Amino acid sequence: MRLRAIAHSRTGDKGDTANVSLIAFDPAEYSRLEAQVTAERVRDHFAGIVTGGVVRYALPQLGTLNFVMRGALGGGVTRSLALDAHGKGLSALLLDLEIPDAEG
């Protein structure tokens, strides 16, 4: 299943760094997100887009994982030639990440 089935996302950007939060619709799904969506998986998922490191911050009280991705915006929003390479585009791409469904 894709993450969008159990979570939504919010994003922000500053310079060449993107900040992407993954928020469980249902707090009961948070532990599943925490187990399946690691910094390494996110880095692999964004291969070719993110050129720097990815750090994950867990916020269990909010049912949220926050990912800080360096080198994610083609040099920065104002320098990039890509159309909407920031914010909404990155959150939509994260929500396409596949994880096992509840039975798998």
In a domain, 86, yes or no: yes
In a domain, 103, yes or no: no
Q: Report the range of poorest mean pLDDT among 13-22, 37-46, 73-82.
A: 73-82
C-alpha to C-alpha distance for 96 and 3, rounded to whole angstroms? 6
**Helix/strand/coil for 87:** coil
φ, ψ dihedrals at 77, nearest 5°: -55, -40
Half-sphere exposure of 30 (CA within 13 A, CB side): 14
What are 23's strand-pairing partners? 8, 64
CATH (domain of 49): 3.30.1360
Q: pLDDT: is 34 or 86 the higher one?
A: 34
In a domain, 100, yes or no: no
In a domain, 83, yes or no: yes
pLDDT for the residue 19? 87
Instruction: Name the domain count of the chain.
Output: 1
* Domain containing residue 18: 3-94
The tens digit of pLDDT for each residue in 89-102 reads: 788 889 999 998 87
pTM: 0.85
Q: Residue 55: pLDDT band by 50, 70, 90 thresholds?
A: very high
